[in-house]
Chain A
Amino acid sequence: LAKTTQPISMDSYEGQEVNITCSHNNIATNDYITWYQQFPSQGPRFIIQGYKTKVTNEVASLFIPADRKSSTLSLPRVSLSDTAVYYCLVGPPLDTGRRALTFGSGTRLQVQP
């Protein structure tokens, strides 16, 4: 199982763009990169998933270089409500392989006014 490394914490201000980078040097060919968000007293929530290049949805963008050994979650113009823990997960899709999510310790993002 590919190990992920991400910063323990990050600070930002409202309106800024936040980029959280995750390293996954041992990513396997059939692994996808998935990001989850967790607010205090809630369960994690899916944000975005990608395999290569760039993926964008209404919440975030995910940038994956050609070697796929790292990925960057980009949150445009953050607000106070984006304060949360962000988890980078690497593994096969839930309908293949291990079929379960493996979480690390995540990145605690604090957005200041």
Chain B
Amino acid sequence: EAGVVQSPRYKIIEKKQPVAFWCNPISGHNTLYWYRQNLGQGPELLIRYENEEAVDDSQLPKDRFSAERLKGVDSTLKIQPAELGDSAVYLCASSLVGGTAKNTEAFFGQGTRLTVV
């Protein structure tokens, strides 16, 4: 079974330019997360979706960041305009919440490394 797929793996852009990241979660997973990981630190949650609804976006810098999850499957995270401080790895994860099985874990993609110059 394919895991969480993210693209691109790497992206280099100039400041003030827009950038978008794409995530395809594990089939059947209803919950999708976007995390940002700065060098030497643990991942920090940006936004969480349950199906197509953003249920926790309190950590998302809404002045420049936006996200969508159309049809409750794939998701896109966008930054416009990018700043130097946005350089980080952006991780997408998915999990199955609810149902009869007790949920134990989230599955992460390999991430997109963004460098803003």
Contact = CB atoms under 8 A, between A and B. Distances in A.
A binds B: yes
Contacts of B108: 42-45
B102 interface: yes
B75 interface: no
B45 interface: yes
Contact of A93 (B42, B48, B103, B109): B103
B104 A100 contact: no
A100 B110 contact: no
**Range for the number of chain B residues in contact with chain A:** 20 to 34
A13 interface: no
Nearest to B97: A95
Given A42-B111, A46-B106, A99 B97 contact: yes
Contacts of B98: 95
Interface string B46-67: 0010100001100000000000
A26 interface: no
B33 A100 contact: yes
Contacts of B87: none
Interface stretch (A62-70, A76-84, A101-109): A101-109
A29 interface: no
Nearest to B41: A105
| Interface size bracket, A side | 20 to 34
A46 B105 contact: yes
B85 interface: no
B51 to A, nearest CB: 13
Contact of B103 (A95, A105, A106): A95
B45 A42 contact: no
B43 A94 contact: no
Nearest to A106: B42
Interface string B87-99: 0000101010110
A100 B44 contact: no
Nearest 4 pairs of A and B residues by beta carbon = A43-B108, A103-B42, A46-B105, A95-B103
